[in-house]
Amino acid sequence: MTINSQTVPREGDLLSRSQTWLRGNPTLDQVKGAFRGIVNQIRKGDLVRTKVVEHTADALTEYYVDRGGDLTTLPSLDELALVAEATPVAHIQVAEPDYGSLYPDVPVGKPLSREEKQAAISNLKSMLRRPEGM
């Protein structure tokens, strides 16, 4: 079976199939494509990152580097985890209230007496009453 970015074997036999495939001496581009295929499957949630997947990634990486491939051109499973942690799916930021318009830049007036408060409340109540007949 050929492993590439379009066809990734099931997780259970991923390592053994990858090792068999590597014995066929694939090109560096093919190995890079297979590695990217595994990373893409993990990103999509089609493949779970287990020990088998990690061992498979290690085998592909070792083959790639031993044949002269540049390790920095391969995606990293650790970077994949960091990306997932950095961009939480269901995290919602709580907005801070804006109190700017509640506190005008004018000095506070003197406190009202009890009688003045009662008069102000009565005045408000009279404004809120329904018109007669409704």
25 inside domain: yes
- Residue-level pLDDT at 46: 81
Looking at residue 9, what is its pLDDT? 45
Per-residue model confidence (pLDDT) at position 133: 56
Query: Residue 68: inside a domain, yes or no?
Result: yes
- Is there a domain that residue 31 lies in? yes
Query: How many domains does the structure of the chain reveal?
Result: 1
- pLDDT, position 134: 55
Instruction: Note whether residue 95 is domain-resident.
Output: no
In a domain, 40, yes or no: yes
pLDDT along the chain (134 residues), means of 10: 45 79 91 87 81 87 88 75 48 71 73 92 85 62
| pLDDT score for 1 | 40
Domain assignment of residue 17, yes or no? yes
pLDDT score recorded for residue 114: 94
Contact 12, 52 (CB under 8 A): yes
pLDDT at 103: 66
- Structural domain boundaries, residue 55: 11-86
The residues, ordered by sequence, that sit 6+ positions from 124 with a Cβ below 8 Å of its Cβ are: none
Q: What pLDDT was estimated at residue 91? A: 58
Is the CA virtual torsion 4, 66, 61, 70 positive or negative? Answer: negative
